């Protein structure tokens, strides 16, 4: 059972570089999310999607972009990486009330 798969697990970026964090789910869930977790903090919602072709901003969307061309995939794009984007990023999918999370991507911007 793959569930929610995130790649890569770790990444170091230089300031100003760009990258895409990949997320895929095989549970046919309509709802997908990107959260970030900073040390000592809870999970903050970056972007979410309620289905293919539909995305919307969460609590902390600045500096990020998303797309949802298929039900399975929900990539998160960082343009012009900044040190403030150093964090652990979690992708999740949801059907009904319970959300399932990926293992996370630890991103460091130096």
Partner 1 sequence: DQQVKQNSPSLSVQEGRISILNCDYTNSMFDYFLWYKKYPAEGPTFLISISSIKDKNEDGRFTVFLNKSAKHLSLHIVPSQPGDSAVYFCAASTNSGYALNFGKGTSLLVTP
CA 6 to chain centre: 8
Q: Does 1 bind partner 1 (CB under 8 A)?
A: no
46, 101 Cβ separation under 8 angstroms: no
CB of 108 to partner 1, least distance (A): 14
Both structure tokens of 105: 């991507």
- # residues contacting partner 1 (CB under 8 A): 26
Residue whose entry in the numeric block shows the structure tokens 């979690």: 90
- Contact with partner 1 (CB under 8 A) among 1, 2, 28, 40: 40
- Contact with partner 1 (CB under 8 A) among 97, 107, 108, 109: 97
């Amino acid at each position: 059972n793959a569930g929610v798969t995130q790649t890569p697990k770790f990444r170091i970026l230089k300031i100003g570089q760009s990258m895409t964090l990949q997320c895929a789910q095989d549970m046919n869930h309509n709802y997908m999310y990107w959260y970030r977790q900073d040390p000592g903090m809870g999970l903050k919602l970056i972007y979410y999607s309620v289905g293919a072709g539909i995305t919307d901003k969460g609590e902390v969307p600045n500096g990020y972009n998303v797309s949802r061309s298929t039900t399975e995939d929900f990539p998160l794009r960082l343009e012009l990486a900044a040190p403030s984007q150093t964090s652990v990023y979690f992708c999740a999918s949801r059907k009904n009330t319970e959300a399932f999370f990926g293992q996370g991507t630890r991103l460091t911007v130096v």
